[in-house]
Structure 1
């Protein structure tokens, strides 16, 4: 129930926040509440993923993507994630979550998401996200065309390429 309430309030607040361009960064104010913490009285590592999802929804709403999803009956799916944790976020601490779209590879969009507290990075995540339809992944070119930004960056940073390469070498017993 908790994530659903957070999700709803994030989308409602996004309606009143300024629109963003694809190049811009979403900054979402957050607070580590009682349902977010673990036995060490800090933000639980699983909760980081919930906040990051909220950040992507805030970003998506503010660039106009949520209305496109409704119009085309699209969904989204995570294709991978890599998170680095550096500093703790204690109970009741205020922090911010930044979300920015870094690049795409024709199939997937790559987001960089960071949590910040006292102007220091607490965590950083690379998220690989795809747009889905009943036919499978929607090509990035189609999504960008609908957003009106066919020109938007497919220049993949070296660190994203290196992560993809490393992921392709990991054993996968599911096939």
Structure 2
């Protein structure tokens, strides 16, 4: 149940929060609760991925892009992700999930997300996503670029991300 409550809290806070640009970094505040813990007493690795979803929702709602997508019948889909864990998060610790658009290419939008307590990074994730239109499949890159007004110059995909995308592509057997 706490995930539904967190979803509601993030959604309401984002709707009431300060408006930002889609190209800004948003920090979404959380606290480790008992249902986040694994058998050794720190936050379960799967819970990190769930909270990343909420961080992305916060960015999209606060920037207004969520409503623009809904108006067009688009919704985001995670196609790949990689996460590295550095430090444990334990019961009752508060932390922020920092979310930013890292870039885009001819097929994907990339987001970078970090779990932080102050200046200390506890985990870092890279997400590869696309947008899908109900009943029509994947949204063409040209349509996404037109809706976004293009990606700003400071938002570019690093070479290592392109390499990760190439090497993590689904292979047929």
Query: What is the TM-score of this pair, normalised by structure 2?
Result: 0.90
**Closer, same or farther: CA 18–141 of 1 in aligned 2, 3 Å:** farther
- In the superposition, relative to structure 1, how do residues 33 and 172 fare at CA in structure 2: closer, same or farther (>3 Å)? farther
> CA 1:151–1:158 in structure 2 vs 1: closer, same or farther (change >3 Å)?
closer
Determine the structure 1 residue equivalent to 2:138: 137
**Partner secondary structure for residue 70 of structure 2:** helix
Between the aligned partners of 1:141 and 1:85, the Cα distance in structure 2 is 35
What number of residue pairs does the alignment pair up? 171
Calculate the aligned-residue CA RMSD, in Å: 1.7
CA distance change for structure 1 residues 119 and 130 in 2, over 3 Å: closer, same or farther? same
Which region of structure 1 is more displaced relative to structure 2, 2-11 or 36-45?
A: 2-11
Is the 1:104–1:140 Cα contact (8 Å) retained in structure 2? no
Structure 2 residues without counterparts, runs of 5 or longer? none
Distance in 2 between the 1:37 and 1:100 partners?
26
Q: Distance in 2 between matches of 1:159 and 1:16?
A: 37
Q: TM (normalized to structure 1)?
A: 0.90
User: Which residue in 2 is equivalent to 1:163?
Assistant: 164
Query: Gapped runs of 5+ residues in structure 1?
Result: none
Q: What secondary structure sits across from 1:62 in the alignment?
A: helix
What do the CA deviations read for 1:96-137 (whole angstroms, capped 9, x no partner)?
A: 110000001122110000001242111000001111112111
Deviation at 1:39, TM superposition (A): 1.2
Secondary structure at the counterpart of residue 82 of structure 1:
strand
Q: State the Cα distance separating 1:88 from its structure 2 match.
A: 0.2
TM-superposed CA distance for 1:65, in Å, is: 1.3
Match of 1:41 in 2: 41
Cα distance, 1:172 vs structure 2:
4.8
